[in-house]
Amino acid sequence: MSAGAVPHYLPLIIVIPVIVGCVLVAVGSYLPRPLTDFLAIGTAAAVTGLAAVVLTTASHSGRVVTWTAGWRPAHRLSVGIPLIADPVSAGLALLAGALVTCALLYSWQYIQSVSGRFSALMLFFLAGMEGFALSGDLFDMFVFFELMGAAAYALTGMKIEDESAVQGGLIFGVMNSLGGYLSLAGIAILYSRYGQLGLPQLGAMLAHQRPDALVIVAFALIMTGFLVKAAMVPFHFWLADAHAVAPSPVCVLFSGVMVELGVYGVARVYWTVFSGAIPHHDVTRAFVVLGALTAGIAAAMCLLQRHLKRLLAYSTIAHVGLFVIGFATLSDNGTAGAALYVVGHAGLKAALFLLAGVLLSKYGNVDEHRLYGRATADRVEACLYLAAALGLSGLPPFGLALGKSVTEEAVAATGYAWGPVLFVAVSALTGGAVLRAGLRIYFALGPRPAPESGAGAGEETTGAEEKPDTKTLPRTPITMLAAIVVLVAGALATGLIPGVGQGFADAAQRLTDRAGYIAQALGHARPAPLRRHPAVSWTAEGIGLDMLSAALALGVAGLSLYAQCLPEVLHRIFRPARPVIVTLRRLHSGHIGDYVAWLFLGVAAFTALLGLPLL
Amino acid sequence: MTVYAYFVAAWLMLVGAYGIVRSRNLVHAVVSLAVCQSGTYVLLLAVGYQHGALAPVFGSTIKPSRHVVDPVVQAMTLTDIVVSATVTALLLALAVQVSKRQGTVDPDELTALKG
Amino acid sequence: MSHRGRLLVFFIGAGCVAAMFAVAFFRMPAFGGTMHLYRDLAVRAAVAHQTANVVSSVDFDQRGMDTFGEEAILLASVVGAAVLLRPSDEEAELRPKRPGRILPSTKLLGYALLPVTLLIGLDVVLHGQVTPGGGFQGGVVIATGLHLLYVAGSYPALDRVRPLAAFDIGEAVGGAAFGGLGIAGIVAATSFLANFLPRGSFGQLTSAGTVFVLNGAVGLEVGCGMVVLIAHFLRQDIIIAAKAEQAQ
C-alpha cells in the first residue's frame, strides 16, 4: 500500500484480532484443532506484518497519525480519538505481535485449548496491547488497558484444577483493576480543568504551565495504573503470583511485552502531556529512586526462589526497574538504551519461560530442587537455556547487552555515578540465579539439595504442585523448540544487525519530542528533521562492563550452588542478612489485603517524592 | 458545597479499598472493588454537572442548545458500567474456583502463593 | 503481615491519598459550574450529524474507538468467565433436580412481564439515537428480562429457550459486526468508524447514520453476552458437581 494510505489502515492492527477472536468464539467448537490454531497464528502473523509496515512508514515520516471516524482537529481541539504511531509505538506493536505469534506457535496442538477459546483470548489480549501502544487519547489508553487486563485475568486462571492458578488470577485482577481506577480518577481530575482527553490537545494546553498541585496530583494518579502494570515496587506483588501460575506461553507475553507497556505508558503520557509542566529533575529523581528500589528488592527475591517461573518473574521485575531508570534520565540516549534493553530482554525472557514450560510438560513440576539432574539428556534445551541465561546476565553480542551498556552510560552521564554499579550488580544477581537453576537442572552441578531444604520450607511456593499446561510429553515437540530458537536468535540479531542502534536512537528522539508530536497530530506539519547525535552503538567500556556482569553472574551461580561447602567465615558474614531476608519473604504473603495496603502507601510515597520538593 | 460531590466520590473509592484490605471473604473483596469503581463514576459525573442544565437529549420539547450537562462523561460512564459488570463477573468466577479448590474464600487461609 | 500491621500501612497510605484528593478538589472548577469545553464541541458535532441523543453520538460516532474497545472487553470477559467456569477434570454435569414450589402469583407476574420486558428492551436498543438508551442499556434489559423465565418457571424451562451455542454465536456476530462496520467506514470514507450512512433528519428513527446500526450490533452483543454469562454461573451452581457426589 502507498505511504499515504498507511494511516487509514492503522486501526486494522487493533480490529483484526478482535474480529478473528469473535470468529473463533462462534465456530471454535466446530472446527478441528489445527484449523483454529492456524487461524490464530495467521492472524497474529498478519498483525505483526502490518505493524512492520507501520514501523517503516513511521521511521520515514516521523509519526503515522489517523483521527478515527474522521473528526479532524480544529484550533487545536477535537472531539475524536487519534491513533498516533511513532517509531516507539510501532516498535512495541511489532514486538507484541511477534511474541504472540511465537507463543501461539508454542501452544500448537498441545496447550489445552477449550474449543478455541484460549486462542480467542490470546487474540483479544493482542488487540488490547496494540490499542494501548497506538492510542493517542488518555481515556482510550485506559480502555485498552482494561482490555489487556480482562483477557489476562482469564488467561492466568486457565488451569482451573490448579489451586494457586485461580488465586493468582484473582490477585492479578484486583490489583490491576484498582490501579486502573486510580488512573481514571487522575484522568477525571485533569479533564475537569482542561476539557480534552487527547494527548496532543492536553500537551498543547499544558505546554508552558507552572507546576500546580492539581497537575501533580493528576500526574501521580495517572502514573499509578501504569506503575502497577509495570510492577514497580511497591505495586509489584501481583506479578510473581500471576507468573507462577499462568500457562507458559501466557507468561511469555506478560514478561516480554505487557509489563514493558506499563513503562511505555509512563513515558508516553509524561513526554506528551506533562513534560512542559513538571520540572525534569523532579521526575528524574522520583523515577530513579523507584527504579533502584525495584531493581534491588527484586534481585534479592530472585535469588531466594526455587520455583522456576517465580524466579524468572522476579528477574523481570528487576529488569523493569532498570528500564525505568533508563527512561528517568529523560535523555535521548537513556531512552534509546532502555528501548533496546526492552527488546533484547523480551526475546531472552520469553525463551526462558518456554523452556520452563517444556520442563513442566516433561517432568511435571518447576521446582529447581526436585528437577535436579532430571534434564541431563536434553542437550538442545540445555544449550538454549545457557545461551539465554548468559544473555540475560549481559553477555555480548546479545541485544540486551547493547541496551544495557547504552543505558548505563546515559545514567552515569545524568549524574548518577552509581548507576553502572547497580546495573552490573542486578544483572549479575538475577543472571546468576537463572544460571544456578539451569546448571542444577540440565547439568546436575553442585550437591543435590535435600528433599525439603531451603530457608523456611512451607514459607514459600516451591513449584512442586504446579499443574502441567499439557499432557505429559515424552519428547519436546518441534513446534515448541522452533519457537524457542526463533526467540533466542531474534535476541541475538538485535545486537548484531548494523544500524539497529541508529534506528533506536532516532525512535527515542521522536518519543521525547513533544512539540513535534503535537504539531504532527494537530496539523499537517512535516516532521522536524532529526538532530545529528552520536550513534548508539557498542563501546569498549560498555562491552567490558557487560562481560563483567556475565562473569559475576557465573560467580554468583557458583557460590549459590556450592553454598554448603563454603568456609564458615563466609556464612558468618551473611548471617546478619537473614532477618531481612525472612521479613522480605514474609511480606510477599499472597494476601490481597496486604497488597492493596502497599498499593496505597506506594501512591502516597510516589506523590511525596514528586511533589514535596516543589512546595 | 462546591466540592462536596467530589469528596463523596473520593470517600467511595477509599472505603472500597478499605473493604478489600480488611476483607475476610473473597466475594466481599470483589464487591468492594466494584464500590471503588463506582467512586470513579461519581467523580466523572460530578465533573460534568452544571446547575440548572438539561439532559443532553434533544427532541420536540428540548431544542438543541448548549445548556446541557456534559455528555462526554456520561458516555464514558455508561459503557464502563456495563463492561465492569462483566469484569466483576470474571473475578467472581475466579473466586468460585478458588473456593472449590482450596475449600475456603477467606484470604487469611489461602496458602497456595507465598514467598 | 498481621491484621493490625496491614491496617496501619493502609491508613497511612489512604490518609495521604485523601489529602491528595482534597488538594486537587479545591483547585478543580467548582461543582456545577458552567465551563465545559468538551460539552460545547460534542453538542455541536452531534447536531451536525443529526443525532438527537448527544450521549449516543459521543459513544458511537465521536468516540467510537472507545466503545469498540469496551465491547471487546465485554467479549473477553464473557469468554474468560466461560472458560473459568467450565467443569473441571473431577466434575461432571448432572440433570437438574425438580424445582421447588413456585407461588402462583410469582408465576403470573413472571410470565406476564416477560414479553413486556423483552419488548421494552428492544425499544430501548432501537431508539438509542433519539431517546436516552442504546445498545448497552437495552441489551442488559433483554438479557435479564429473559431470566424471568427462570424466576417464574424452572431452570429446565430456561434451558430449553436459550441454546447456549446460539447465544455464543449471537454475541460473536454482534462484536464482529461492530468491527466490520468500522472497516466499512475505512472503505467508504477513509476513516475507521466514520459515519458514512445517510443521516436522515433530526429526531427520526433512522437518523444519525451508523449510530443506529451500531446500536443494534451492540444490543445483540450485550444481550447475548449477558445471557451466556448468567448461564455459566447458573450451570456452575445447578448442574456441575463433583463426580463423587454424582455417584450418590
Task: State the SS3 of A568-594.
Answer: HHHHHHHCCHHHHHHHHHHHCCCCHHH
Burial (CB count <10 Å: 0-12, 13-18, 19+), residue C97: exposed
Top-confidence residue, A38 or A531? A38
Identify the helix (H) or strand (E) that includes residue C135.
helix C135-146
Supply C11's cell numbers.
Answer: 491508613
Q: Which of B4, C81, C66 is nearest to A155 (CA)?
A: C81
Residue A503 has pLDDT above 80, yes or no: yes
- Check C176 against A161: CB less than 8 A apart: no
CB B49 within 8 A of CB B89: no
**Type and span of the H or E element at C242:** strand C240-242
Q: Which helix (H) or strand (E) holds A38?
A: helix A33-61
From CA B95, how far away is CA A464, in angstroms rounded?
23
Range scoring the smallest mean pLDDT among A69-73, A548-552, A574-578, C148-152: A574-578
CB contact (8 A) between residue A593 and residue C6? yes
CA-CA distance, A218 to A224, in Å (whole number)? Answer: 10
Give the residue from A143, A184, A237, A584 with the most C CB atoms within 10 Å of its CB, the best one to mutate. A143
Nearest-CB residue to C172 (from A14, A23, A191): A23
Asked if residue C77 lies in contact with residue B90, where contact means CB atoms within 8 angstroms, the answer is yes
**Which stretch of A170-174, A194-198, A534-538, C135-139 has the lowest confidence by average pLDDT?**
A534-538
- Examine the pLDDT at B73 and tell me if it is beyond 90: yes
- The count of structural domains within chain B is 1
Summarize pLDDT for A555-564 with one digit per residue, the tens.
999 888 887 7
Q: Grid coordinates in use for A231? A: 510492577
Q: Is A28 on the interface with C (CB under 8 A)?
A: no
* Higher per-residue confidence, A4 vs A212: A212
Q: Is residue B13 part of a domain?
A: yes
Which of B13, B108, B113 has the CB atom closest to A185's CB atom?
B13
Nearest to A600 among B17, B22, B86 (CB): B17
Q: Residue A455 has what pLDDT?
A: 45
Neighboring chains of B (3 or more beta-carbon pairs < 8 A): A, C
Which of A25-34, A308-317, C123-132 has the largest mean confidence?
A: A308-317
A116, A29 contact by CB (below 8 A): yes
Contact flag C139-B82 (C-beta cutoff 8 Å): yes
Q: Does residue C243 have a pLDDT over 60?
A: yes
CATH number at residue B54: 1.10.287.3510
Quick: pLDDT tens for A129-165: 999 999 999 999 999 999 999 999 999 988 888 878 8
Q: Inform me whether the pLDDT recorded for C210 exceeds 90.
A: no
Backbone angles phi, psi at A93, to 5 degrees: -60, -40
Do B89 and C42 make contact, defined as CB atoms within 8 angstroms? no
Residue A298: per-residue pLDDT: 94
Q: Which residues of C touch A77 (CB under 8 A)?
A: 37, 41
User: Of A496, A533, A515, nearest to A333 (Cα)?
Assistant: A533
**Residue C246 — pLDDT band, cuts 50, 70, 90?**
low
From A594's Cα to the closest Cα of chain B, the distance in A is 7
Burial (CB count <10 Å: 0-12, 13-18, 19+), residue A323 = buried
DSSP C233: H
Quote the pLDDT of residue A457. 43
The residues in B 28-87 lying below 8 A from C, measured between CB atoms, are: 46-51, 55-60, 64-66, 68-72, 74-76, 78-80, 82-83, 85-87
What's the CA gap between A177 and A159, in Å, rounded? Answer: 21
Quick check: B64 and A209 in contact, CB under 8 A? Answer: no
Percent of chain A exceeding pLDDT 90 equals 57
Distance separating alpha carbons of residues B68 and A28, to the nearest angstrom? 47
Please report which confidence band the pLDDT of residue B93 belongs to, taking 50, 70 and 90 as the band edges: very high
Shortest distance between the Cα of C15 and any Cα of chain B, in A, equals 9
Task: Inspect the interface and report whether the beta carbons of B59 and C203 lie closer than 8 Å.
Answer: yes
Cα atoms in the Cβ-side hemisphere of radius 13 Å centred on C153? 16
Tell if the CB–CB gap between B71 and C28 is shorter than 8 Å.
no
Residue A247 CA, chain-centre distance (Å), reads 17
- Given a cut of 90, whether residue A612 has pLDDT beyond it is no
In this structure, are residues B99 and B112 in contact, taking their beta carbons and an 8 Å threshold? no
> Which cell is A495 given?
545486537
The closest alpha carbon to A511, from A203, A198, A86, A133, belongs to: A86
Burial C143-173 (b: 16+ CB within 10 A, else e): bebbbbbbebbbbeebbeebeeeebbbbbbb
State the best of C12, C20, C44, C236 to mutate against chain A, taking most chain A CBs within 10 Å: C20
Instruction: Choose the most confident range, by mean pLDDT, from A401-415, A454-468, C233-247.
Output: A401-415
Residues 6+ away with beta carbon under 8 Å from C185: A69, C191, C192, C193, C194, C195, C196, C210
Distance CA A201, CA A48 (A): 30
Residues A314/A305, Cβ–Cβ less than 8 Å: yes
Identify all chain C residues contacting B74, using CB atoms and an 8 Å cutoff. Answer: 55, 58
- pLDDT of residue A3 exceeding 60, the answer is yes
A361-374 pLDDT per residue, tens: 888 888 888 888 88
pLDDT tens readout for residues B23-70: 999 999 999 999 999 999 999 999 999 998 888 988 877 888 888 999
Each residue of A467-486: b (16+ CB within 10 Å) or e? bbbbeebeebbebbbebbeb
A526-544 average pLDDT score: 78
Contacts of C91 in chain A (CB under 8 A): none
**Nearest CA among A44, A265, A300, A113 for reference residue A176:** A265
* Average pLDDT estimate for C193-218: 82
pLDDT at C101: 82
Q: What is the mean pLDDT of chain A?
A: 89
**Band of residue A386 on the pLDDT scale cut at 50, 70, 90:** very high
pLDDT at A29: 86
B40, B83, B94: which to substitute to probe chain A, counting the most A Cβ within 10 Å?
Answer: B94
pLDDT at A606 over 90: yes
B102 with A585: Cβ contact below 8 A = no
pLDDT of residue A1: 55
A467 to chain B, minimum CA–CA distance in Å?
A: 13
pLDDT of residue C245: 61
pLDDT digits over C11-60, tens only? 999 999 999 999 999 999 989 888 899 999 999 998 888 888 899 999 99
Which of A31-35, A102-106, A504-508, B111-115 shows the lowest mean pLDDT across its residues?
A: B111-115
Tell me, yes or no, if A173 comes closer than 8 A to chain B by beta carbon: yes
A155 touches chain B (CB under 8 A): no
Chain C residues with CB-CB distance to B58 below 8 A:
47, 52-54, 202-203
Residue B54, SS3 per DSSP:
strand
Residues A77 and A79: their CA atoms lie apart, in Å, by 7
Q: Where are the domains of chain C?
A: 1-35, 51-247
Instruction: Answer yes or no: is B97 within a domain.
Output: yes
**What pLDDT band is residue C156 in, cutting at 50, 70 and 90?**
confident
Which chains have at least 3 CB atom pairs separated by less than 8 Å from chain A?
A: B, C
Number of separate helices (H) and strands (E) present in chain A? 25, 2
Task: Determine the pLDDT at residue A215.
Answer: 94
Report pLDDT for C150. 87
Per CB-CB distance under 8 Å, the chain A contacts of B13 are 181-182, 185
CB-closest option in A140, A189, A599 to C65: A140
Is-contact A24 A16, C-beta < 8 A?
no
Confidence of residue A2 (pLDDT cuts 50, 70, 90): low
Q: Using an 8 Å CB-CB cutoff, list chain B residues near C85.
A: 93, 96-97
| Residue ranges making up the domain that contains B14 | 4-109
Give the separation between CA A534 and CA B15, rounded to whole angstroms.
53
